[in-house]
């Protein structure tokens, strides 16, 4: 999957591109609108990560530019302006999703995957790894052909793990993924712990491999090398 | 009371006071003038009679239309002495009115004999003058009042037009449109001063508003990017083989960044709420959101060993921005879970008029009214930022909801009353503002 990252902050851009490279994306970076437009005209991209505040203008210009040129790439807006107006305008102008800075990298990865699935893979609704299969439309999880009895949050969490295989997922990142930005009062890692524990128990009870492990001090990891 | 009515009343009051005083003065001066003229005439008649006597001619009963009597007198008086008297007499018993008669007596030495000459004449009585005056005064009053009442509104509309204009502009003044007020110059000094003052004040408010808004936007933007950098670097770092102690260090940093992010986001949200940026004119199905939120939190309730019951009425429609309804419900139900103990209970009740969320919990330490202040939190909860309830309060205030907290028989109870009518008058004057918002979106 080829991604164009349009982000003026060099530090952040290098973090994002390093993370995406590890995930196997081919990531190119533009630091301003002009450069981005040049790249967009010259090469096809599956997805564009777009910052709104750019040194030579508003990132929304690129949205309009891409629509004018009838480009098919998916667009994910990354904005520091936590502004509702921008979000609505962005989505109306054809962006696929909107993520507010500061975001967690695994969250960005999950959103990117979701967009990619929706647009490029013809809306495939199955995520599978070895014996585990998830149907993201019906929120059903199977292990070894056995349907697991999962709550919606547990399903979301398992999917988050499976999209971010072999990544350390911090408890903060999991909490933000499950309960959103403004759940200040739920920043309670007991809940994360309980959810993870439940998932592991349910997978094990269906004779699945316990892929999810604890990373000391840091969080959890879906470990594909586990047997 | 309208300003024109006040002025009219004041003016009428002054008129009422002046007219009686004025009529007394008029009455006195007319009466004095009549008397003086009559006396002068009679004096003249007396002198003429004395001259006639001096020439040896007899004096008749009437002279120049005045009754006159001349007779020798024992007493003598100086030549320029006149005795003036007046009295009411009634000659004809058929007539009801008395007549007022003025008599002037004088003494003259004629050919060595002292004569007393008395002349008299009838003059208009004071009551008659008064009657005439009364009619004229009543007419004067009637015309005056009539004209004032008729013309005051017209005059005020003309004279006070700039004032009403300023008032209207102020009513429609809206900080968020960022347009400065522009007043037409008037010929009235006070209104010009008022306009100048109001203009200065609103200009300042607009400037302050813009700089405040820019500051909060910039602050949020400038903080979010470094936060994003720190967070992303920490996440990249945790992908390496991290040893025990280092992992704890990273984890602590991640916690701090997370907290900072939440504080920043919440403060920005509060500022935006205060800026009225989430004004809403459409009703949303509150029941649906309440049900969704309750479902979302079901897991957590079970994990924490709590029980929750809820009674959500169908089709409760409330005027609230969609971005705020989740924040409101998440914060309230999240709080109910957080400030609870194992085995505790939560109840959520939604009716068309109010939302009540009650949960078991420890007694609050501070006074209940401080509950909604920023960064105020129970001592037991170190991990929360302590801004959730003040966001809830702000959302309620902006949408004319009444929020109330009380602690009763071991339960924290928060109730939110929705306004009875959704066509609130406050929104009427905000038409321009919401229009503006629509064009912005």
Decide which of A67 and B433 is more confident.
A67
Tell me if chain B has a CB within 8 Å of the CB of A24.
Answer: no
Do residues A137 and A211 share a domain? yes
Tell me if chain A has a CB within 8 Å of the CB of B256.
Answer: no
Decide which of B73 and B254 is more confident.
B254
User: What is the domain count for chain A?
Assistant: 2
Q: What is the mean pLDDT of residues B257-276?
A: 81
Phi, psi of B402 (to 5 degrees): -105, 120
The predicted pLDDT at position B382 comes to 53
Return the minimum-mean-pLDDT range out of A74-83, B326-335, B414-423.
B414-423
Nearest CA in chain A to B439: A85
Write the CATH number for A41: 3.40.50.2300
Contact B414, B364 (CB under 8 A): no
Nearest CA in chain B to A18: B236
Cβ-based contacts of A89 with chain B (< 8 Å): 441
Which domain does A139 fall in, by range? 126-222
Do residues A73 and A172 share a domain? no
Do residues A83 and A130 share a domain? no
List A residues 135-154 in contact with B (Cβ-Cβ < 8 A). 151-154
Residue A29 reports pLDDT greater than 90? yes
Estimate the crossing angle of helix B189-237 against helix B244-274, to 10 degrees.
Answer: 160
CB atoms within 10 A of CB B41: 17
Write the CATH number for A182: 1.10.10.10
> B231 and A217: CB-CB below 8 Å?
no
Nearest partner of B275 among B321, B221, B332, judged by Cα:
B321
Nearest CA in chain B to A99: B228
Per-residue pLDDT band for B290 (boundaries 50, 70, 90) equals very high
The predicted pLDDT at position B377 comes to 58
Tell me if chain A has a CB within 8 Å of the CB of B369.
Answer: no
Optimal mutation site among A22, A176, A185, A188, interface B, most CBs of chain B within 10 A? A185
Q: What is the mean pLDDT of residues B330-344?
A: 87
Alpha carbon separation from A193 to A187, A190, A197, B36 (Å, rounded) = 12, 5, 6, 118
Helix, strand or coil for residue B117? strand
> A102 and B261: CB-CB below 8 Å?
yes
CA distance B354 to B334: 19
Write the pLDDT tens digit of every residue in B349-405.
999 889 999 999 888 877 777 777 776 655 555 556 677 888 888 889 888 899 998
Helix, strand or coil for residue B193? helix
Residue A15 reports pLDDT greater than 50? yes
Contact A99, A77 (CB under 8 A): yes
Q: What is the mean pLDDT of residues B79-99?
A: 76
The predicted pLDDT at position B436 comes to 39
Please name the residues in contact with A188: beta carbons below 8 A apart, sequence gap of 6 or more. Answer: A175, B338, B383
The predicted pLDDT at position A182 comes to 57
Cβ-based contacts of A23 with chain B (< 8 Å): none
Tell me if chain B has a CB within 8 Å of the CB of A22.
Answer: yes
Write the pLDDT tens digit of every residue in B114-143.
888 888 888 887 778 888 888 888 898 899
Write the pLDDT tens digit of every residue in A159-204.
999 999 998 998 888 988 887 765 655 556 778 888 899 999 999 9
Per-residue pLDDT band for B432 (boundaries 50, 70, 90) equals very low
pTM higher than the cut 0.80: no
Do residues A106 and A19 share a domain? yes
Please name the residues in contact with A53: beta carbons below 8 A apart, sequence gap of 6 or more. Answer: A8, A59, A79, A80, A81, B221
Do residues A133 and A202 share a domain? yes
**Domain final residue pick, A99, A119, A139:** A119
Bridge partner list, B67: B62, B120
Q: What is the mean pLDDT of residues B271-289?
A: 81
The predicted pLDDT at position B383 comes to 54
Helix, strand or coil for residue B85? strand
Do residues A131 and A82 share a domain? no
> B299 and A85: CB-CB below 8 Å?
no
Instruction: Give me the residue spans of the domains in chain B.
Output: 3-155, 190-272, 279-440
Cβ-based contacts of A176 with chain B (< 8 Å): 258
Decide which of A94 and B197 is more confident.
B197
Alpha carbon separation from B398 to A172, B171, B176, B307, B391 (Å, rounded) = 31, 19, 15, 32, 11
A227 found inside a domain: no
Per-residue pLDDT band for B259 (boundaries 50, 70, 90) equals confident
**Domain final residue pick, A70, A86, A119:** A119
**Domain final residue pick, A101, A119, A137:** A119
Do residues A134 and A207 share a domain? yes
Residue B262 reports pLDDT greater than 90? no
The predicted pLDDT at position A50 comes to 92
Q: What is the mean pLDDT of residues A93-104?
A: 87
CATH of domain B279-440: 3.30.565.10
> B278 and A182: CB-CB below 8 Å?
no
Mean pLDDT, chain B, whole residue set: 82
Do residues A14 and A106 share a domain? yes
Cβ-based contacts of B227 with chain A (< 8 Å): 101-102
Phi, psi of A2 (to 5 degrees): -105, 125
Do residues A71 and A143 share a domain? no
Nearest partner of A17 among A7, B162, B78, judged by Cα:
A7
């Amino acid at each position: 999957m080829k991604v164009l990252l349009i982000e003026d902050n060099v530090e952040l851009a290098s973090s994002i591109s390093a993370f995406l490279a590890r995930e196997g994306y081919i990531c190119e970076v533009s630091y301003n609108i002009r450069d981005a437009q040049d790249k967009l005209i010259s090469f096809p991209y599956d997805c564009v990560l777009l910052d709104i505040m750019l040194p030579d203008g508003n990132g929304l210009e690129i949205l309009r530019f891409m629509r004018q040129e009838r480009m098919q790439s998916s667009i994910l807006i990354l904005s520091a302006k936590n502004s509702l107006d921008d979000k609505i305008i962005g989505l109306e102008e054809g962006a696929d999703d909107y993520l507010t800075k500061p975001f967690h990298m695994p969250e960005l990865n999950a959103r990117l995957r979701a967009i990619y699935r929706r647009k490029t893979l013809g809306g495939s609704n199955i995520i599978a790894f070895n014996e585990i299969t998830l149907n993201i439309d019906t929120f059903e999880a199977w292990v070894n052909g056995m349907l697991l009895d999962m709550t919606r949050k547990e399903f979301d969490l398992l999917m988050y793990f499976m999209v971010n295989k072999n990544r350390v997922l911090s408890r903060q990142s999991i909490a933000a993924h499950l309960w959103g930005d403004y759940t200040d009062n739920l920043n309670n890692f007991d809940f994360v712990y309980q959810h993870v524990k439940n998932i592991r128990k349910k997978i094990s009870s269906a004779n699945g491999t316990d892929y999810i492990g604890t990373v000391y001090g840091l969080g959890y990891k879906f470990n594909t090398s586990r047997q | 009371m309208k300003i024109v009515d006040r002025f009219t009343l004041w003016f009428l009051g002054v008129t009422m006071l002046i007219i009686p005083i004025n009529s007394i003065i008029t009455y006195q001066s007319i009466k004095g003038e009549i008397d003086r003229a009559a006396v002068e005439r009679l004096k003249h008649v007396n002198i003429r009679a004395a001259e006639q006597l001096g020439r040896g001619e007899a004096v008749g009963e009437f002279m120049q239309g005045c009754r006159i009597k001349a007779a020798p007198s024992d007493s003598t008086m100086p030549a320029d002495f006149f005795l003036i008297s007046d009295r009411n007499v009634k000659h004809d018993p058929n007539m009801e009115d008395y007549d007022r008669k003025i008599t002037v007596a004088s003494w003259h030495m004629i050919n060595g004999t002292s004569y007393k000459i008395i002349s008299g004449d009838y003059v208009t009585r004071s009551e008659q003058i008064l009657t005439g005056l009364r009619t004229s005064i009543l007419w004067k009053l009637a015309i005056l009042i009539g004209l004032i009442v008729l013309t005051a509104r017209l005059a005020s509309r003309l004279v006070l037009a700039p004032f009403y204009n300023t008032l209207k502009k102020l009513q429609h003044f809206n900080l968020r449109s960022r347009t400065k007020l522009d007043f037409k110059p008037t010929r009235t000094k006070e209104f010009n001063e008022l306009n100048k003052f109001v203009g200065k004040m609103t200009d300042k408010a607009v400037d302050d508003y813009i700089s405040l808004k820019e500051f909060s936007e910039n602050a949020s933007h400038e903080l979010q990017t470094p936060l994003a950098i720190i967070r992303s670097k920490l996440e990249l770092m945790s992908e390496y083989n991290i040893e025990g102690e280092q992992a704890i260090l990273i984890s602590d940093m991640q916690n701090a960044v997370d907290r900072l992010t939440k504080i920043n986001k919440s403060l920005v949200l509060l500022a935006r709420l205060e800026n009225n940026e989430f004004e809403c004119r459409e009703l949303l199905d509150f029941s649906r959101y309440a049900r969704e939120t309750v479902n979302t939190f079901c897991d957590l309730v079970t994990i924490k060993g709590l029980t929750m019951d809820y009674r959500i009425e169908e089709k409760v429609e409330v005027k609230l921005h969609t971005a705020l309804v989740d924040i409101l419900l998440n914060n309230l139900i999240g709080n109910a879970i957080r400030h609870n103990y194992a085995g505790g209970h939560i109840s959520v009740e939604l009716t068309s008029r109010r939302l009540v969320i009650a949960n078991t919990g420890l007694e609050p330490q501070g006074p209940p009214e401080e509950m909604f202040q920023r960064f105020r939190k129970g001592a037991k909860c170190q991990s929360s930022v302590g801004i959730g309830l003040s966001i809830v309060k702000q959302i309620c205030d902006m949408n004319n909801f009444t929020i109330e907290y009380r602690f009763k028989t071991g339960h924290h109870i928060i109730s939110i009353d929705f306004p009875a009518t959704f066509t609130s008058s406050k929104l009427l004057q905000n038409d321009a503002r919401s229009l503006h918002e629509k064009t912005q979106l």
